[in-house]
């Protein structure tokens, strides 16, 4: 079955050093784009996202958006694009309807700063969860 990742895979095989995308002052080759897509899929799988799971995306039109559009369907995940013009209430309603009604976010937090990572480049989930658990009495040990 051909997916969004098929043309990128083919372009990487025949012209890995050719420019694939230019975003501002950044230019990425097909080979670099392929590697970035592979790392993105690895990060999503590391977060527990698997085949058939939905991945919502909200962001500006840039090279990262293209990488998400290539990677998520290419890994068998379902891409759910969100509209950045929606209000917080509309985003929550959209998530409730299309993503996971049983895991509805109570709030939406947009981050401008990079996600915390270890020296090896892995996401530090504990640091991401820390603000949520701050000042809460019941905390699961080790999380």
Q: In a structure prediction context, what are the per-residue pLDDT tens digits for the chain, which is 143 residues long? A: 566 778 888 999 999 999 999 988 999 999 999 999 999 999 888 888 889 888 888 877 888 888 998 999 888 998 888 888 888 888 877 777 766 555 555 565 666 777 778 888 777 777 777 776 676 655 555 54
Measured between alpha carbons, how far is residue 8 from residues 17, 100, 124, 125 in Å? Answer: 13, 30, 30, 30
- Could you give the domains of the chain? 5-106 (3.40.50.980)
């Amino acid at each position: 079955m051909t997916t969004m990742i098929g043309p990128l895979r083919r372009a990487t095989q025949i012209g890995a050093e050719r420019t694939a995308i230019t975003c501002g002052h950044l230019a990425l080759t097909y080979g670099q784009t392929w590697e970035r897509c592979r790392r993105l899929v690895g990060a999503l799988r590391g977060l527990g996202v698997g085949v058939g799971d939905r991945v919502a995306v909200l962001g500006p039109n840039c090279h990262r958006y293209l990488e998400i559009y290539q990677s998520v369907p290419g890994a068998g995940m379902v891409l759910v694009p969100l509209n950045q013009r929606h209000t917080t209430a509309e985003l929550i309603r959209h998530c409730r309807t299309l993503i996971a009604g049983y895991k509805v976010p109570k709030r939406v937090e947009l981050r401008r700063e990079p996600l915390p990572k270890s020296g090896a480049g892995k996401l530090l989930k504990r640091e991401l969860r820390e603000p949520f658990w701050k000042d809460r009495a019941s905390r699961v040990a080790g999380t």
